[in-house]
Amino acid sequence: MSPMERFDGTTYDPPRDEARLTGSLLLVWSFMRDGRWHTLKEIGAAARCSEAAASARLRDLRKPRFGGHVVHRQYLMRGLHQYRLDVNPGGLVVP
């Protein structure tokens, strides 16, 4: 799969978005590999992206083309959730 085919969506423009999304994905991946629970605020701060972008990258990590990892979600309080990544050993993230 070429880098231009990795991400998708109606607003995705490869020349504009590929480097940014790949960078965010790798930062989220690196941060979440610790196997601990984190909020979107923590993930976004670590990945230098918004909470919405951090959430989107977590969804990407679940997709087979990004490793098919398991992302757990648990409710904390007042609409706040935290997330934990279970790494699929055969599904490494490829930049």
Domain that holds residue 80: 39-86
Instruction: Please give the tally of structural domains in the chain.
Output: 1
The encoded tokens of residue 95 equal 């930049």
75, part of any domain = yes
For the four alpha carbons of 12, 14, 17 and 22, in that order, the dihedral sign comes to: positive
76, part of any domain = yes
Q: Which residues pair with 95 in a beta bridge?
A: none
Q: How confident is the model at residue 90 (pLDDT cuts 50, 70, 90)?
A: confident
Are the C-beta atoms of residues 32 and 38 closer than 8 Å to each other?
Answer: yes
Of residues 41, 35, 22, 44, the one with CA closest to residue 86: 35
31, part of any domain = no
pTM of the model: 0.88
| Close Cβ partners of 68 (under 8 Å, ≥ 6 residues apart) | 62, 88, 91
71, part of any domain = yes
1-16 pLDDT, tens per residue? 454 467 888 899 999 9
Q: What is the mean pLDDT of the chain?
A: 90
26, part of any domain = no
Using the structure block, give the residue that is written with the tokens 């490869």.
Answer: 14
19-48 pLDDT, tens per residue? 999 999 999 999 999 999 999 999 999 999
29, part of any domain = no
pLDDT of residue 95: 53
